[in-house]
């Protein structure tokens, strides 16, 4: 029986992307080698927060928790969840009637049967071609005025045909220039480009779950560089 190192699990709702607002059970796994400076889930990898022995739970136990919540979607996130073999977890979730949604940077092979893949590419670990093709939607983090064009150049036409969410990096969420660039891109390019936001952070939705297990706040800690 495979076990997974779990940073937190909770029942809330999807706060971004195509499935925005839907009831969802979150499984946040430990570990990410990418280490983005603005990571909003650094509690999964930053040495200041990662415990010596991360709590581990079996695929079956996690799937039962997800099914018991009543949510029809489990969002497997991190950290970077694809550093783990998700085969058994996604099988157990499917057996219990819960769809597996993945949040990934796309830089590592995806092991498991996913029903939905949100790929948010990162410059320090570019996505694999096979993952770009398998993605259901894309989420481009807009860090500065050039971010969108740089990503369009980097990723090319392979990302066409699926939603491409443009989201301000959270510490820049009130930056008028970033919001203007997102707005202009959607107006000028239209098609699959969509203006996005992390609505759950406004609601503090994660904090409303009584089973919440969390060591760092979502939104990062600018004093520690993320």
Place of tokens 């709590």: 55
Tell me which residue of 95, 87, 91, 116 sits closest to 104, measured CA to CA.
116
Closest to ligand SF4 by CB, 67 or 114: 114
Closest to ligand SF4 by CB, 5 or 78: 78
Closest to ligand SF4 by CB, 105 or 110: 105
**CB atoms closer than 10 angstroms to residue 120:** 20
Q: Cβ 188 to ligand SF4, closest distance in Å? A: 28
**CB atoms closer than 10 angstroms to residue 145:** 12
Residues that bind ligand SF4 (CB under 6 A): 32, 34-36, 39, 41, 78-80, 105, 122
Question: Which residues contact residue 153 at a Cβ distance below 8 angstroms, ignoring those fewer than 6 apart?
Answer: none
Q: Cβ 95 to ligand SF4, closest distance in Å? A: 28
Give dist(CA 28, CA 116) in Å, integer.
Answer: 16
DSSP code of 72?
Answer: S
- 6: Cα within 13 Å, side-chain hemisphere: 23
Closest to ligand SF4 by CB, 32 or 155: 32
Closest to ligand SF4 by CB, 94 or 111: 111
For residues 119 and 140, is the Cβ–Cβ distance under 8 A? no
Q: Cβ 30 to ligand SF4, closest distance in Å? A: 10
Task: Name the helix (H) or strand (E) containing 183.
Answer: helix 176-189
Q: Cβ 54 to ligand SF4, closest distance in Å? A: 15
Q: Cβ 119 to ligand SF4, closest distance in Å? A: 11
Tokens found for residue 163? 């939603």
Closest to ligand SF4 by CB, 83 or 148: 83
Give dist(CA 138, CA 157) in Å, integer.
Answer: 13
Q: Cβ 126 to ligand SF4, closest distance in Å? A: 11
């Amino acid at each position: 029986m495979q076990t997974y190192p779990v940073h937190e699990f909770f029942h809330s709702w999807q706060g971004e992307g195509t499935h925005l607002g839907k009831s969802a059970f979150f499984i946040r796994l430990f570990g990410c080698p990418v280490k983005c400076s603005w990571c909003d889930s650094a509690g999964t990898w930053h040495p200041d927060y990662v415990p010596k022995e991360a709590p581990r739970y079996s695929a079956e136990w996690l799937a039962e928790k997800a099914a018991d919540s009543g949510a029809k979607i489990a969002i497997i996130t991190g950290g970077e969840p694809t550093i783990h073999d998700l085969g058994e977890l996604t099988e157990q979730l499917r057996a219990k009637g819960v769809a597996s949604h993945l949040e990934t940077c796309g830089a590592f092979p995806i092991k498991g049967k996913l029903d939905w893949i949100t790929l948010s590419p990162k410059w320090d670990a570019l996505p694999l071609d096979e993952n770009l093709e398998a993605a259901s939607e894309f989420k481009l983090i807009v860090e500065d005025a050039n971010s969108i064009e740089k990503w369009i150049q980097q990723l090319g036409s392979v990302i066409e045909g699926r939603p491409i969410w443009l989201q301000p990096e959270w510490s820049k969420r009130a930056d008028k220039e970033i919001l203007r660039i997102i707005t202009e891109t959607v107006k000028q390019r239209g098609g699959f480009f969509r203006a996005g936001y992390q609505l759950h952070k406004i609601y503090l939705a994660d904090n409303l779950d009584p089973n919440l297990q969390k060591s760092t706040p979502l939104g990062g800690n600018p004093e520690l560089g993320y």
